[in-house]
Amino acid sequence: MPGIRQGRILRAWAGVRPLYDPATQSSSAEGTHVDNRKATRTFDVLDHATRDGVEGIVSIVGGKLTTFRLMAERTADAVCSKPGVAQPCTTATTEIAPARARAGR
C-alpha cells in the first residue's frame, strides 16, 4: 500500500483494556506479583455477587479493542439478567442510522 502516506486521517480511536487471566492470581497482602502482560486477549464478565459476595457490581475485563461491541453486549446481558430481563442485547443486529439522519437533517 504505497499510497498510504498520502492518505488523510479521517478518524482515530483508542481504548483501555485491563488485562485479566483468571488462572493467575496476585496478592498485595502476600507480596506476590503476576506479569499479566501474558494474559490472553479473551474477556470475562465478572458477576461480583457470585464471585465476591458483593451484589450490584458487574465488571468486564480483558478483551481487545476489536471486540468492544461484543464485550458491551455480554455485559449488558449480564446486568439486565439481574432484574429478570431475558431479552438479549440487539447491538449486533441493529443498524446505525447515517449521521445526517441522527442529526435530524
Q: Which helix (H) or strand (E) holds 60?
A: strand 58-62
CB 16: neighbour CB atoms within 10 A? 5
- The pLDDT value recorded for residue 27 is 58
pLDDT on residue 87: 92
Which among 93, 49, 95, 89 is positioned nearest to 72, based on CA atoms? 89
Please tell me the pTM assigned to this model.
Answer: 0.63
- Give the model's pLDDT for residue 33: 63
* pLDDT confidence of residue 47: 93
Domain ranges of the chain: 15-81
Query: Per-block average pLDDT, block size 10, for the chain (105 residues)?
Result: 76 74 64 64 89 92 84 93 91 82 59
Dihedral sign (CA 35, 40, 42, 44): negative
